[in-house]
Amino acid sequence: MKSTFNVRFAVAALAFITVFIGSVFLVELAIPFLQFQPNVDFLQSKRLIYHLDWWRWSFYIHVFSSPIVIFAGLFQFNRLTIHRFPKFHRICGYIYILVLLLIACPSGFLLGLYANGSYPTQVSFTLLSVFWFATTIIAFKRAKSGMFESHAKWMIRSYALTLSAISLRAFTFLLAYFKIELYPPDSYILVSYASWIINLIVAEVLIYLNYAGFLLRKA
């Protein structure tokens, strides 16, 4: 029993540290955009639409709100906050849900309409936004109804989609690291789908292994 607990604790700690480092990395990537100039990094590929006010503000809103969602969700999936600090758990949960549903997801949907890589990538990112919104609103409704295990399952799915922002960069890095040569548009299409589909598969595996029930059981 003790060895099983140690393994679970080690895996949870590793996952927490990995997501935390990934979140810090995303924040660092967002810092250059504080210049609010079109010649910064990714925005150089968006010169043809940067002049559109709705797109420009959607971009900045999404870039600066997404780390808030990631950090708020980071503290939702361990028994310490759920059982020992329930108020902190609820506060982080409300921040996660409100910022995601009202700010990060709608702005992400608008960005998806003009994503690089043409229609295949645009379909990927708009679908991601729709699923992100749907899983989160279902999770919220289940919590309000007192269906906490179902709430936990849908939050696992929601956060898996949240972490697609980190997965996208990770898969892009891996393609370059292993020198997998693809035509640039094809590689971006590949990582755009893999970034959230693989995350959802992992989420379903965790749900199948009853990770939601494990979170709700008091130590």
Q: What is the pLDDT of residue 14?
A: 62
Concatenated DSSP letters of 5-58: HHHHHHHHHHHHHHHHHHHHHHHHHHGGGGG--TTSGGGGGGTTTTT-HHHHHH
- Supply the pLDDT for residue 33: 67
Helix spans in the chain (H): 2-30, 53-74, 79, 86-99, 105-112, 118-144, 148-162, 164-177, 184-208, 211-216
- Which pLDDT does position 196 carry in this prediction? 94
Instruction: Domain of residue 154: give its range.
Output: 2-216
pLDDT at 162: 94
Question: What is residue 69's predicted lDDT score, i.e. its pLDDT?
Answer: 93
For the chain, the distance separating the N- and C-terminal CA atoms, rounded to the nearest angstrom, is 12
Q: What local confidence, expressed as pLDDT, does residue 187 receive? A: 83
Determine the pLDDT at residue 53.
85
pLDDT in tens, 77-107: 888 888 889 999 999 999 999 999 999 999 9
Give the number of domains in the chain.
1
How high is the pLDDT of residue 100? Answer: 96
Those residues of the chain that have pLDDT short of 70 are: 1-18, 20, 22-23, 25-30, 32-36, 41-42, 178-185, 219
**pTM of the prediction?**
0.86
pLDDT of amino acid 193: 94
Q: In the prediction, which pLDDT does 43 show?
A: 74
